[in-house]
Each structure stands twice: as structure tokens, then as C-alpha cells.
């Protein structure tokens, strides 16, 4: 057992096509009318178009395959030590309310003969974040993708994020931070490897 998890459920195939901006604009118009606003007044006249453009950007990860960022790597049979990229800023949208959640991701892996440029790890995080998401799924998707595409000996992801659906509505607890983790391979099976990763991401 190498600790790898199946990725088919956690990393969906990218949807082909483009964002239908006209449908978004029409939907926003209806929302504005439904809340009792006048979409024809000056301040709101361009709002449907602006939101359509914003959604096209925020959800661009739906139409991109995050695995492409891991296709260009380097064969390195000599390096078998942990690689860590921490404090990767990200912005995503909670799929329950379509409100933002944002924070930082810490990602580590132990190579198994193949490494990738550190910018590629950050791009994986960004691509998977730019979808309607939940933090738990996002954390697992990153770890499983590294295991699947790099055939890593282990992968670890910790995400710390603040959720606006919790801070600006509902329970209204600003400053609350949600922490999720996903440990695969050596990070799950070896307490020393896991402890080393956690100490590295906590170090300032």
C-alpha cells in the first residue's frame, strides 16, 4: 500500500466551453429586481456585465485541467528529500453561497525521481481554487493530484482560510480561520515526515 488515493472523484475532468456571459447578465438582472432594486438606475446599469466578467475570471478553473501544470517537470533521481512551498495565497468561492473564502495553502511532496518547478505547484492551487469549491475538497484535490501525476512518495497539503459565508452572514464570527489538511503516502504513514512538514510550515 503506497498511500495513494483515487483521484477520479476528487479531481473532475475540466468542462469544455466558455462561460455564458449573456445568461449571467440576465440572471443578475432578475436578482436585482427580486431584491427590490432598480437595475436601470445609474449605479446598477453596468452591474450585470461586470458580474458576468467577474464570474468568468473567478470560475475560470472549471475550464482548465490543473494536471497540465505538472506535465513539464525534471527527472532527478538524486533528490529524495521533502520539497515545500508554503504561504501560497489563494481566493476561491464557497459553493454553498458563492461567497469568497481566502487564505494560504502550504504544499509539500517527497519526489520519487521527478520534480516540478515551484511555480507549477502554485498554479495547481490557483486552478483548483477558481471553481465553486469547499475547502475540504480543495485540500484533497491538490494532494491527490501531486500523488497521481508526480508519482510522489508522499504529498501533504494544509490550507488556512477565512470564509465570508461565516464572517459576514450567519454566525458572523470575523477572524475565524478554518484549517484543513490532507496527508498522503509518507506524510500519512511516517510520523517523523509529517512532523517535519508541519514544523517547516510553522517556521517564520
40 belongs to the catalytic site: no
User: Which residue in the list 63, 97, 102, 151 is annotated as catalytic?
Assistant: 97
Separation CA 150–CA 62 (nearest Å): 22
147 and 178 together in one domain: yes
Residue 16 in any domain: the answer is: no
Asked if residue 148 is part of any domain, the answer here is: yes
95 catalytic per annotation: yes
- pLDDT of 98: 95
- The answer to whether residues 43 and 71 belong to one domain is no
Q: Where are the beta strands (DSSP E) in the chain?
A: 73-75, 83-94, 100-110, 114-116, 132-133, 154-163, 178-185
Q: Residue 109 and residue 194: Cα distance in Å, rounded?
A: 11
Residues 101 and 149 in one domain: yes
pLDDT in tens, 52-84: 999 999 999 999 999 999 987 677 667 789 999
Q: What is the CATH number of the domain that holds 38?
A: 1.10.286.10
Residues 194 and 117 in one domain: yes
Question: Pick the catalytic residue: 63, 102, 160, 165?
Answer: 165
Do 108 and 51 reside in the same domain of the chain?
A: no
Q: Tell me, yes or no, whether 129 and 42 share the same domain.
A: no
State whether 37 and 65 are in the same domain: no
Could you tell me the residue range of the domain that residue 29 belongs to? 21-58
Catalytic, 106? Answer: no
Q: Does the structure show a pLDDT above 50 at 8?
A: no
Question: Is 163 designated active site?
Answer: yes
Number of structural domains, the chain? 2
Which residue among 30, 71, 80, 96 is the active-site one?
Answer: 96
Q: Are residues 39 and 101 in the same domain?
A: no
**What is the reported pTM?**
0.87
* Position 1 in a domain: no
Strands 132-133 and 114-116, how do they pair?
A: unpaired
155 and 184 share a domain?
yes
Active-site residue, 63 included = no
Is the domain of 96 the same as that of 188? yes
Catalytic residue (one of 69, 94, 106, 141): 94
Of 4-8, 46-50, 115-119, minimum mean pLDDT range: 4-8
Q: Can you tell me the distance from the alpha carbon of 65 to that of 112, in angstroms, rounded to the nearest whole number?
A: 23
Q: What is the pLDDT of residues 28-49, one digit of tens each?
A: 999 999 999 999 999 999 999 9
Residue 11: inside a domain: no
Domain boundary among 58, 79, 108: 58
Amino acid at each position: 500500500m503506497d498511500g495513494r488515493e483515487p483521484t477520479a472523484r476528487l479531481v473532475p475532468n475540466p468542462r469544455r466551453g466558455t462561460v455564458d456571459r449573456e445568461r449571467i447578465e440576465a440572471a443578475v438582472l432578475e436578482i436585482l429586481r427580486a431584491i427590490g432594486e432598480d437595475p436601470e438606475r445609474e449605479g446598477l446599469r453596468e452591474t450585470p456585465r461586470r458580474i458576468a466578467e467577474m464570474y468568468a475570471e473567478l470560475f475560470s478553473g472549471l475550464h482548465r485541467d490543473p494536471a497540465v501544470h505538472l506535465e513539464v517537470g525534471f527527472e532527478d533521481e538524486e533528490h529524495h528529500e521533502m520539497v515545500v512551498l508554503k504561504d501560497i495565497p489563494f481566493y476561491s468561492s464557497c459553493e454553498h453561497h458563492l461567497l469568497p473564502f481566502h487564505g494560504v495553502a502550504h504544499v509539500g511532496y517527497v519526489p520519487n525521481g521527478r520534480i516540478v518547478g515551484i511555480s507549477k505547484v502554485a498554479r495547481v492551487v490557483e486552478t483548483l481554487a477558481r471553481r465553486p469549491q469547499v475547502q475540504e475538497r480543495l485540500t484533497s484535490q491538490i494532494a491527490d493530484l501531486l500523488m497521481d501525476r508526480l508519482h510522489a512518495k508522499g504529498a501533504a497539503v494544509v490550507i488556512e482560510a477565512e470564509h465570508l459565508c461565516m464572517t459576514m452572514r450567519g454566525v458572523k464570527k470575523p477572524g475565524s480561520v478554518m484549517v484543513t489538511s490532507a496527508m498522503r503516502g509518507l506524510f500519512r504513514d511516517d510520523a517523523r515526515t509529517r512532523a517535519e512538514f508541519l514544523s517547516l510550515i510553522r517556521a517564520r
